Amino acid sequence: MLYRALGNTGVNVSILGFGCMRLPVLNGKSHQIDEEKAAEILHYAIDHGVNYVDTAYPYHSEIPFQAGMSEIFLGKALKNGYREKVHLATKLPSWLIKTREDMDRYLNEQLTRLQTDHIDFYLIHSLNQALWPNLKQLGVLEFLDSALADGRIRHAGFSFHDEYPLFKEIVDAYNWSFCQIQYNFMDIHYQAGRKGLMYAAEKGLGVVVMEPLRGGKLVNRIPADIQQIWDQAETKRSPVEWAFQFLWNHPQVNVVLSGMTEMQHVIDNLKAAEKGYPNSLTEQELELFTAVKKMYESKIKVNCTNCNYCMPCPAGVHIPRNFSQLNNASIYDDVAGAKMAYHTFMPKHLRASNCTDCGQCETLCPQNIPIRSVLKEVDRTFA
């Protein structure tokens, strides 16, 4: 296992982190973790050098976004010396916070669920434009100061699902130790993106990457034309290895999370991590990523360039973001995954269903996209 310093924290973390959102389950039910199997693969990963374990309050819940079973499982699985071998990360359920007192209540509950007296890396979960102003007003930054001072948490960070300007605002708002962003070779301009990665690193924040495989979309059911590009490489790698090596090639990326469900996932990812050195990809190999990205993007449904000339919409619809999810469904042939992302990360007031059919956007679009018609398709697809 290779290790990197997590920003300016002074902590060295394994470049592969164990994400506990996709643990093996029983009977296909998310809240019924197969604890024997999950513990086996988690312990194997730790025994082979993984020292960063990431979970969150709602992971493996029966009711979406409510208390899940992942933290409870970890509280049991990290006994017998395993807790001391890892840096444990979990997250404040930001969407459930109504008062300043809620913050302490949830953190204390999480400490109990995890059977520990401290969280090594504590994140404010899934910050976006809808949640951040409310949390600031309720005193989340003072809460973090308090939790750091009394030792319940060792390092404060946040995970992020919105656009770069808000990311920069949040980074500048507090003395964060680290952040967690979605990043992969297809998402270099998505959400915080490469610009956010670089900005966080310049400010001394550690960077944890989630969704390195885009929920499996970059490694499952690889189209023949994509595989042909990978096959051009002198050094042969699996799609999983290509995706990980792209991230580890960035010196600014400290740890890459992987939600590992099977023992073979762990074995394969550990093997890939042995070669995860920064700046190790050749120019020819980096060109392959460009070619693969271009091939995927040729499968888009809506030729939106994200120029934002159509914005702001009088009805509040975020037109480019709606189009982005429709394109994701087409590019990766995964309507179900795009639909889940749409309903999880797209606030209701920004969705296509709010379109009033006024047509103002179409008079401004330089690509001459029939925006109203496409928004109706977005609404039908993700209804």
Query: What is the average per-residue pLDDT within 340-347?
Result: 90
Answer yes or no: is pLDDT of 366 > 80.
no
pLDDT of 334: 86
pLDDT of 103: 98
Answer yes or no: is pLDDT of 305 > 80.
no
Residues 102 and 96 sit within 8 Å (Cβ to Cβ): yes
Q: At what angle do helices 140-149 and 100-114 cross, to 10 degrees?
A: 40
Q: How confident is the model at residue 42 (pLDDT cuts 50, 70, 90)?
A: very high
Q: How confident is the model at residue 332 (pLDDT cuts 50, 70, 90)?
A: confident
Residues 6 or more apart whose Cβ sits within 8 Å of residue 106: 57, 92, 93, 96, 97
pLDDT in tens, 233-289: 999 999 999 999 999 999 999 999 999 999 999 999 999 999 999 999 999 999 999
pLDDT of 268: 94
pLDDT of 308: 81
Lowest mean pLDDT among 117-131, 226-240, 294-308: 294-308
Percent of the chain, pLDDT > 70?
100
pLDDT of 263: 96
State how far the Cα of 252 lies from the Cα of 248, in Å rounded to an integer. 9
The token pair at 259 is 């939600």
State how far the Cα of 341 lies from the Cα of 360, in Å rounded to an integer. 27
C-alpha to C-alpha distances, 191 to 111, 168, 186, 187, nearest whole angstrom: 30, 11, 12, 8
Q: Which residues pair with 342 in a beta bridge?
A: none
Residues 283 and 269 sit within 8 Å (Cβ to Cβ): no
Residues 260 and 219 sit within 8 Å (Cβ to Cβ): no
Q: How confident is the model at residue 215 (pLDDT cuts 50, 70, 90)?
A: confident
101 or 63, which is more confident? 101
Answer yes or no: is pLDDT of 181 > 80.
yes
pLDDT of 328: 87
Q: Is 221 exposed, middle or buried (0-12, 13-18, 19+ CB in 10 A)?
A: exposed
Q: How confident is the model at residue 7 (pLDDT cuts 50, 70, 90)?
A: very high
Residues 6 or more apart whose Cβ sits within 8 Å of residue 101: none
State how far the Cα of 259 lies from the Cα of 220, in Å rounded to an integer. 15
Instruction: Determine if the peptide bond prior to 347 is cis (ω within 30°).
Output: no
Q: At what angle do helices 35-47 and 263-273 cross, to 10 degrees?
A: 20
Count of C-beta atoms within a 10 Å radius of residue 117: 9
Count of C-beta atoms within a 10 Å radius of residue 137: 9
pLDDT in tens, 133-168: 999 999 999 999 999 999 999 999 999 999 999 999
Q: Which residues pair with 207 in a beta bridge?
A: 179
pLDDT of 173: 98
Do β-strands 16-19 and 12-14 pair in parallel, antiparallel, or remain unpaired? unpaired
Give the closest residue to 184 by CA, choosing from 240, 268, 124, 236.
Answer: 240
Q: Look up residue 14 and give its DSSP letter.
A: E
> Buried b vs exposed e over 178-215: b needs ≥16 C-beta within 10 Å?
bbbbbbbbbbeebbbbbebbebbbeeebbbbbbbbbbb
Answer yes or no: is pLDDT of 371 > 80.
yes
Give the closest residue to 72 by CA, choosing from 32, 102, 103.
Answer: 32
pLDDT of 64: 81
Q: How confident is the model at residue 368 (pLDDT cuts 50, 70, 90)?
A: confident
pLDDT of 94: 96
pLDDT in tens, 64-107: 889 999 999 999 999 999 999 999 999 999 999 999 999 999 99
For the chain, the 3-state helix, strand and coil shares in percent, each to the nearest 5, are: 45, 15, 40
Distance of CA 183 to the CA centre of its chain: 7
Phi, psi of 124, rounded to the nearest 5 degrees:
-80, 120
Q: Chain-wide mean pLDDT for the chain?
A: 95
Query: What is the average per-residue pLDDT within 330-340?
Result: 89
pLDDT of 246: 98
Q: How confident is the model at residue 219 (pLDDT cuts 50, 70, 90)?
A: confident
Answer yes or no: is pLDDT of 13 > 90.
yes
State how far the Cα of 145 lies from the Cα of 93, in Å rounded to an integer. 18
Coil, strand, or helix at residue 246? Answer: helix
Enumerate long-range contacts of 296-301, CB under 8 Å, 24 or more apart: 296/186, 296/226, 296/331, 296/332, 297/331, 299/330, 299/331, 300/327, 300/330, 300/331, 301/326, 301/327, 301/329, 301/330
pLDDT of 67: 93
Q: How confident is the model at residue 216 (pLDDT cuts 50, 70, 90)?
A: confident
C-alpha to C-alpha distances, 373 to 118, 319, 353, 369, 379, nearest whole angstrom: 52, 12, 12, 9, 10
C-alpha to C-alpha distances, 251 to 4, 206, 226, 343, 369, nearest whole angstrom: 9, 11, 26, 33, 39
- Output the pTM of the full model: 0.85
